[in-house]
Chain A
Amino acid sequence: MLLIGIGAGSIYALMAIAMVLVWRSTRVINFAQAGMALLSTYIGFELVQRTGNFWIALPLAMILGALFSALVEILLIRTLIKHSTTGPVAGIVPIIATLGLLGFIRATIGFIWGNQDIQIQPPLSKVGFKIGEDTIALSPMNLLVLLTVIGMVLVLGFIFQKTSLGLSLRASAYAPEIAQLAGIRVGAIRTIGWAIAGAAGAAAGLLQTVNGTGVVSPDSLEFSLLLTFGFIAAVIGGLESLPGAVLGAVVLGLVLAVVQIYISGTLVFIVAFALLLLVLLIRPQGFIGAKAGRRA
């Protein structure tokens, strides 16, 4: 059961990572993240259809996801920042904009591919590994997801902490004016931040699909869940840190698994909400939250 929780949690983790990335590099919560992941999943589907090989499709989808994400940043976010107002709407404008984008992406997917389900066959077996006589709840597919998450956290953490690119990313988000004075091309850095998030989101979408039922459609329940749970995971873990996002996702996955198996499947949403509320009230920075700095 532990493994089930970790398995589910690792998918949320991928999404949470994407959201934290966007937050850390641009101070925007991207509600359209799941939508972009969905689009990347569809692109991945097309790639699998054409190449017949999941292992080629996955990296390609990630690259295309990154490109699309960068495009969104250039077109949408820069306009947003240019036209940004002060006053009451300043808070909700980016949120509403990304919500609009989410709806736009979903509708476009329906336009191009239709609202019917599409199917992606999993590349690895989903039957659990055997330890002696028992089959445990960990399958090669689960393992792949776990490894991807761990790999991503390591790579991204390294970039953020140890490279000058990472430093530029963090500086541009935290204090864009000062970063600009220091010679950092804030706009380009932001685009890169979004591109990385796009790649992470693409991986999340594809892996979540094949790890689950293999079926996806524009109105997929799974993607609404991904959006919500990814966000909750990111917040619980503290929006400032990537390991925090992963930890938050694992905690969420475990809690939800317990609820689903031992209590009732229908309570998951309200439990997630309660958990979110609890964390925000007790420790607004999240588990591994950083300094109480800019919160807005």
Chain B
Amino acid sequence: MLKKHPLFGFILFGVALFLLSNRVDELRVFQGATVAIYVIAIASIILLTGYSGQVSLGHGALLAIGGYAAALSRNYWGAPVWLTFCIAVLAAAFGGYLLGLAAARLSGPYLAGTTLALAIGLPSIANQFSILGGEQGLLYDIGLPPASLGADFTQYKWYFWISALAALATIYWLRNVMKSRYGRSWKAVRSNDVAAELAGINVGRNKVLAFTVSAGVAGLAGALLAMTISTVSPGAFPLALSFSLATGAVLSGVTTLGGVMIGAVTLVAIPEIVDTVVHRFESSEAVANNLPGLLVSTLLILTVLFVPNGPVEQMRARHEKRAKR
């Protein structure tokens, strides 16, 4: 039944999350929101790289566009929160469109390097124009949870609800997009762009579309990220963020949406586990600060060397091999 009505599965999962959120403490709820946001951001990379075959190391910049768009529209136009999210998506999608136009001509390391430069360059624009708040950024306050939810309903739980809902909706929508003819044409271009061109697919437009959609999704993640920390600033979107997202995508398996939670959870879980371990054993600062980075990097290198398509794909391939016998 789940196969026929995947929507049902999503709703079930949503309900489970809702029940869970009432039982855990604030820290977990906050982390849950972070995981949901990573899910959205990693999904956008999977779309771009896994399905459309274009490398981007600079998704942090697209998240930044979304975050700033949301904050600006709220502060200067007083837009309601849901509208700020829409504006974030549109602004980032537009940015992605422009980037896609340029990117369609580039490939491989050139594209990677260009997006890298963008990831570093874009947030620093905020320092130049005071309307963007400079280094300390802008405030982005989505307000308190509605009174109907009760006085005990914490702000962080509200963030979690919003992020989780957004994540569920986004993944559901993306699944459908991947199954549609757009998704199929992306896959075709990724496998062999000459053949795709011969089959009548406009490769250039196809690639730009992928960038645009991916950017829009990333923009949503950016707005949600800004929501959880109540500010946008260049420091919220450092190069390390882009690298983390790329890492998360590879850990999840960049060619398929199925494992997207693996990467998101790993990114949040590892610093958490390390922190607990460090506290337990009273290690030095050098250990505490660097162990997460060490673990994640090692995991990344191992994954990319031995399971480059990600665990989900690996299992599928093994299944296929077995089925063939």
Beta-carbon nearest neighbor of A218 in chain B: B290
Q: When the two chains form their complex, are residues A277 and B114 in contact, meaning their CB atoms are under 8 A apart?
A: yes
> Interface size class for chain B?
35 or more
Beta-carbon nearest neighbor of A269 in chain B: B121
Query: Which residues of the other chain, A, contact B57 by a CB distance below 8 angstroms?
Result: 95, 99
Interface of A is mostly: helix
Q: How far is the CB of A77 from chain B (nearest CB, A)?
A: 10
Interface of B is mostly: helix
Docked CA distance A267–B132 (Å): 14
Q: Contacts A96-B247, A276-B117 known; A107 to B290 CB distance under 8 Å?
A: yes
- Residue B294 lies at the interface, judged by CB distance under 8 Å to chain A: yes
Q: When A and B form their complex, which 10 residue pairs have the shortest distance between CB atoms, in order from nearest?
A: A103-B297, A100-B300, A107-B293, A110-B290, A273-B121, A269-B121, A104-B297, A107-B294, A266-B127, A270-B121
- Interface residues, chain B, with chain A CB atoms under 8 Å away: 49-51, 53, 55, 57, 102, 105-110, 112-114, 116-118, 120-122, 124-125, 127-128, 190-191, 239, 243, 246-247, 250, 254-255, 285-287, 289-294, 296-298, 300-301, 304-306, 308-309
Q: How far is the CB of B295 from chain A (nearest CB, A)?
A: 8
**Which residue in B110, B125, B255, B292 is a CB contact (below 8 Å) of A270?**
B125
Beta-carbon nearest neighbor of B117 in chain A: A273
Q: How far is the CB of A230 from chain B (nearest CB, A)?
A: 10
Beta-carbon nearest neighbor of B52 in chain A: A88
- Residue A53 lies at the interface, judged by CB distance under 8 Å to chain B: no
Docked CA distance A296–B239 (Å): 24
Query: Which residues of the other chain, A, contact B113 by a CB distance below 8 angstroms?
Result: 29, 231-232, 235, 276
Q: When the two chains form their complex, are residues B110 and A91 in contact, meaning their CB atoms are under 8 A apart?
A: no
Docked CA distance A20–B308 (Å): 26
**Which residue in A110, A228, A264 is a CB contact (below 8 Å) of B293?**
A110
Query: Which residues of the other chain, B, contact A277 by a CB distance below 8 angstroms?
Result: 102, 114, 117
Q: When the two chains form their complex, are residues A284 and B294 in contact, meaning their CB atoms are under 8 A apart?
A: no
- Residue A164 lies at the interface, judged by CB distance under 8 Å to chain B: no
Type the 1/0 row for A264-296, where 1 means its CB is closer than 8 Å to any CB of B: 101111111110110011001000000000011
Q: Contacts A92-B49, A277-B102 known; A83 to B305 CB distance under 8 Å?
A: yes
Query: Which residues of the other chain, A, contact B106 by a CB distance below 8 angstroms?
Result: 280, 284
Q: When the two chains form their complex, are residues A89 and B254 in contact, meaning their CB atoms are under 8 A apart?
A: yes
Beta-carbon nearest neighbor of B240 in chain A: A103
Docked CA distance A213–B55 (Å): 35
Q: When the two chains form their complex, are residues A29 and B121 in contact, meaning their CB atoms are under 8 A apart?
A: no
Q: When the two chains form their complex, are residues A114 and B116 in contact, meaning their CB atoms are under 8 A apart?
A: no
Beta-carbon nearest neighbor of A101 in chain B: B301
| Residue among A85, A92, A267, A276 with the highest chain B CB neighbour number at 10 A | A92
Task: Give me 12 A-to-B residue pairs in the complex whose CB atoms sit less than 8 angstroms apart, sorted by A's number.
Answer: A99-B300, A100-B297, A101-B301, A104-B298, A104-B301, A110-B289, A235-B113, A267-B124, A267-B125, A269-B117, A271-B121, A276-B113
Q: When the two chains form their complex, are residues A107 and B120 in contact, meaning their CB atoms are under 8 A apart?
A: no
Q: When the two chains form their complex, are residues B285 and A89 in contact, meaning their CB atoms are under 8 A apart?
A: no
Query: Which residues of the other chain, A, contact B298 by a CB distance below 8 angstroms?
Result: 100, 104
Q: When the two chains form their complex, are residues A296 and B120 in contact, meaning their CB atoms are under 8 A apart?
A: no
Q: When the two chains form their complex, are residues A115 and B305 in contact, meaning their CB atoms are under 8 A apart?
A: no
**Which residue in A96, A115, A270, A295 is a CB contact (below 8 Å) of B304?**
A96
Q: Contacts A235-B110, A267-B128 known; A89 to B308 CB distance under 8 Å?
A: yes
Q: When the two chains form their complex, are residues B286 and A110 in contact, meaning their CB atoms are under 8 A apart?
A: yes
Query: Which residues of the other chain, B, contact A93 by a CB distance below 8 angstroms?
Result: 304, 308
Query: Which residues of the other chain, A, contact B120 by a CB distance below 8 angstroms?
Result: 224, 228, 269, 273
Docked CA distance A274–B243 (Å): 21
Q: When the two chains form their complex, are residues B117 and A232 in contact, meaning their CB atoms are under 8 A apart?
A: yes
Query: Which residues of the other chain, A, contact B297 by a CB distance below 8 angstroms?
Result: 100-104, 107
Query: Which residues of the other chain, B, contact A235 by a CB distance below 8 angstroms?
Result: 110, 113
Q: Contacts A88-B50, A266-B124, A295-B110 known; A79 to B117 CB distance under 8 Å?
A: no
Docked CA distance A99–B287 (Å): 21
| Residue among A103, A107, A267 with the highest chain B CB neighbour number at 10 A | A103
Docked CA distance A232–B124 (Å): 17
Query: Which residues of the other chain, A, contact B102 by a CB distance below 8 angstroms?
Result: 277, 280-281
**Which residue in A87, A91, A111, A276 is a CB contact (below 8 Å) of B55?**
A91
Q: When the two chains form their complex, are residues B110 and A111 in contact, meaning their CB atoms are under 8 A apart?
A: no
Q: How far is the CB of B251 from chain A (nearest CB, A)?
A: 10
